[in-house]
Amino acid sequence: MDIKKLNFELYKKMFLVRRAEEMIQIYYPEDHMKTPMHMSMGEEAIAVGVCHAMKQEDQIFGTYRSHGIYLAKTMDTDDFFAEMYGKDTALLKGKGGSMHMCATDKGFMGASAIVASAIPVAVGASFANKMAKNEKCVAVFFGDGATNEGVFWESLNVACLMKLPILFVCEDNGFAVHTPKSEREGYGSLSDIVSKFNCHVISEETTDVEVIYNLTRDGIKLMNDTGMPLFLHFRYYRYLEHVGIDEDYEAGYRSKEEYLKWLERDPVRLQREKLLAGDIDEIEIKNIESAINEKVMKSITKAQGSPCCDCSELFEGVLA
Amino acid sequence: MRRITYCDALNEAIAQEMERDPQVFIYGLGVPDHKRIFGSTNGLVEKFGKERCFDTPLSEDAMTGFGLGAAINGMRPIHVHIRVDFLLLAINQLANMVSSYRYFSGGKLNVPMVIRAIIGRGWGQGHQHSKSMYSIFAHIPGLKVVLPTTPYDAKGMLISAIRDDNPIVFIEHRWLYWQTGEVPEEPYTVPIGPPNVVREGKDITIVTTSWMNVESMKAAEILARRDVDVEIVDVRTIAPFEDDLIVESVLKTGHCIVADNDWVECGFSAEVAARIYDKCFRRMKSPIGRIGFAFTPCPTARHLENTFYPNAVTIIRAIEEKLDLEPMDLSEEEFYSHENRFKGPF
């Protein structure tokens, strides 16, 4: 794919993620989306860069903070907003909400709100793929807090031992809820420790989606060539509070100055500037932006107007 | 018909299902080692290879999630825990992930996973190698919990469990491993759900689980000599718990004792009692009795261990009290003992 086209695709996905969440910020205060929102704002480059480097049929697992990867992987906004509004037309008819999206037909295999608990599930899924020889790879996304959990290390060990085709994607924002690394980690560098395992490690601090895409693509190739898992460690800055749609710099656990520094290299704006510098007509960008705006708005309106499922649905799906 | 042990019945079920369906695989700590989970995984690694029968790191939590991941991607894992106590390290995966994954996939993903866990006393096992815990699993929606008692049920229910599209905790009492019984050679299924009336009687109903079936049967044989006719219902599946046969039995006898292989407090016996009261209340001749472990951790020294566990004597005395009978002389009776089974570490 030529670079220009690639960058445009990456921008479209990032713009979709950003715009969907900006609309959540607008409509959430109406209190019709009754689900705790853990916003992805700030991490769009990781979500889009990694997902875009994967094949359509590959599978991903997420956390309670999965708007970014869900939208990047599926490009769906209809089911997404219906789920936020808890409607009958939604992914899970509203049973999951923001924290538990699932769209298996699109390779989004689920999201868990217990930190690190989807990691071993992704490892098992990749084992099944390896046994089936179906060439699918799995990516599991988690925050840096998850690496404090024992099950992260158990899972990494198993994947390395069994040589499974899996991407561990650590989206590192430096905080576990509000607790900084300095209060949590008795070591200097996570990547150094992980690199002692039989896997490939790529660690980068960038908001450039193209860089993340290229690193991931190269990493997947390395993984496929060697049969060893891939550990991706990307830094980002969480723009909003841990849960909710607002900023929380007045709380004092992190500084607004730091945020503003990251904002200067905001991934979405950075990519837009790259497109302009790469001779893409601003009109073309604006056209695609308004098409995405329209798509998002249509999904919201549709979700708002959709009925809720029947209460009998409560009992459906517990057992096969 | 051929008689084989409970352990061999389990082994045969697994081997036949692995033969039938290439998606079935078995794993867990010690599964292919020289002891083979007390013999229940004999011959599997030789027949099906290391890809379908493998050992694991000491990572119960991750390996449970691993099974879930494999199951949602089309495989049929059997995860083995040589002690149920070790399965507790995976309670997060059980309670937060395995049990609810189907629900939170909008019913799109099935979780055909069997988790085998061995319970029960052995030879001074102490408080971390002898628990039952199954009522905790049965408390969680989305898990099925089965605990067969006979070799026939062991094979038939394990085959049912492997073919079931839901996660199943499969509980095996260590002392049942040597019980023998008639078991057909060909594969067959025993349905998960309905209990089984293992002894018909008209005077009192014992609702019982796992090893306590053996003790109940012994108690019934002894009491039969003084014309007390005991009916025994083996629950077999505690989740989903089907109470029809139990209610029917209690309506017939009017008396009920629940002899559960677990602590009484907040245990499965409370669920049984509540169901019976709900459906039989005005038609019962006496309140429901409950028998279970002493409410302490399980001690090691033999005399304390013997005090901790209820047995046939406990059941006989409870029935005598309930039916207002004089305590009979049991000094000449022979009761089940494992003194000759276990001689040293195993």
Q: What is the CATH number of the domain that holds A240?
A: 3.40.50.970
Beta sheet of A230-235, edge-to-edge order: A108-112, A59-63, A138-143, A166-172, A230-235, A200-204
Considering only CB atoms, which chain B residues are within 8 Å of A161? 57
Query: Hey, is the C-beta of B91 within 8 angstroms of any chain A C-beta?
Result: no
CB contact under 8 A, A318 and B103: yes
- CB contact set of A219 (below 8 Å; sequence gap of 6+): A167, A200, A202, A230, A232
**Residue appearing with tokens 């590959």:** A58
Question: Which pLDDT score is estimated for B346?
Answer: 43
Partner-chain contact B66 A127, CB within 8 Å = yes
Q: How far is B146 from chain A, CA to nearest CA, in Å?
A: 15
* CA-to-CA separations, A164 to A136, A220, A225, B109, in angstroms, rounded: 11, 12, 12, 22
Which of B337, B291, B336 has its CA nearest to residue B314? B291
Contact B74 A132 (CB under 8 A): yes
CA A157 vs. chain centroid, Å, equals 23
Q: Is B81 a catalytic residue?
A: no
Residues in chain A where the model's pLDDT stays below 50: none
In this complex, the residue of A91, A121, A317 whose CB is nearest that of residue B65 is A121
Paired tokens of B328: 């009979």
For residue B121, pLDDT over 90 is answered with no
Q: With H, G, I as helix, E, B as strand and everything else as coil, classify residue A316.
A: coil
Under 8 Å between Cβ of B326 and B332: no
Write down the number of H helices and E strands in chain B: 12, 14
Intrachain domains B3-182 and B196-322 with the same fold: yes
Both structure tokens of B145 = 């919990």
Cβ-Cβ contacts under 8 Å, A197 against chain B: none
pLDDT for res A268: 98
Q: How many domains does chain A have?
A: 1
Of B65, B92, B165, the CB nearest to A124: B65
Does residue A240 lie within any of the structural domains?
yes
Range B311-336 average pLDDT: 95
pLDDT at B2: 96
Residue pointed to by tokens 């604006």: A286
Q: Which of A125, A135, A190, A215 is nearest to A162 (CA)?
A: A125
Residue holding tokens 């550990």? A231
Q: How far apart are CA B42 and CA A50, in angstroms?
A: 44
Residue A139 contacts B where some CB pair is shorter than 8 Å: no
Chain center to CA of A148 = 20
Looking at residues B302-317, what average pLDDT do you find? 95
Q: Which of B129, B255, B303, B338 is flagged as catalytic?
A: B129
Instruction: For residue range B255-305, list pLDDT tens digits in order.
Output: 999 999 999 999 999 999 999 999 999 999 999 999 999 999 999 999 999
| pLDDT surpassing 60 at residue B14 | yes
* Neighbouring C-beta atoms of residue A319, cutoff 10 Å: 21
Q: What is the pLDDT of residue B124?
A: 82
* Cα A195 versus chain centre, distance: 23
Residue B127 vs residues B111, B120, B211, B263: alpha-carbon distances, Å? 32, 11, 18, 13
The CA distance from B30 to A181, in Å, is: 37
pLDDT reading at B345 higher than 50: no
A318 part of a folded domain: no
Q: Which secondary structure element, helix H or strand E, spans residue B257, and what is its range?
A: strand B256-263
Strand, coil or helix: B327 = coil
Q: Give the domain B196-322 fold.
A: Rossmann fold (3.40.50)
Which among B220, B192, B194 is positioned nearest to B206, based on CA atoms?
B220
Contact present, A241 and A248 (Cβ < 8 Å): yes
pLDDT tens digit sequence for B177-229: 999 999 999 999 999 999 999 999 999 999 999 999 999 999 999 999 999 99
| Any A CB within 8 A of B64 CB | yes
Chain B, 256-285: which have a CB under 8 Å from a chain A CB? none
Per-residue tokens: A187: 């070591």
Q: Would you list the domain boundaries of chain B?
A: 3-182, 196-322
Cα nearest neighbour of B110 on chain A: A320
Contact between A141 and A59 under an 8 Å Cβ cutoff? The reply is no
Residue type, B108: K
| Contact across the interface for A317 and B103, Cβ inside 8 Å | yes
Q: For residue A311, tell me if it sits in a domain.
A: no
Residue B338's pLDDT band (cuts 50, 70, 90): confident
- Host domain of residue A117: 3-303
Closest by CA to A14, choosing from A54, A57, A55, A43, is: A43
User: Which is nearest to A72 in space by CA: A46, A98, A94?
Assistant: A46
Question: Among residues 147-186 of chain B, which lie with CB inside 8 Å of chain A?
Answer: 164-166
Structure confidence at residue B343 (pLDDT): 55
B57 Cβ contact list (under 8 Å, min separation 6)? A154, A157, A158, A161, B63
Record the tokens describing residue B114, joined without a space: 């069997």
Whether chain B has a CB inside 8 Å of the CB on A197: the answer is: no
| Beta strands per DSSP E along B55-106 | 76-81
Kindly report whether the global pTM for this prediction surpasses the value 0.90.
yes
pLDDT at B252 over 50: yes
B169 vs B345, residue with greater confidence: B169
**CB contacts, 8 Å: B70 with chain A:** 124-125, 127-128, 131
Inter-chain residue contact A157 with B74, CB threshold 8 Å: no
Q: What is the mean pLDDT of chain B?
A: 96
pLDDT at B340: 65
In a domain, residue A74? The reply is yes
CB contact under 8 A, B65 and A151: yes
Terminal CA-to-CA distance of chain B, rounded, Å? 31
B56 vs A161: CA distance, rounded Å? 10
B86 touches chain A (CB under 8 A): no
Distance of CA B324 to the CA centre of its chain: 31
Do the chains contact at B97 and A124, CB–CB below 8 Å? Answer: no
If you classify domain B3-182 with CATH, what class do you get? alpha beta
Q: Which residues of B touch A92 (CB under 8 A)?
A: 104-106
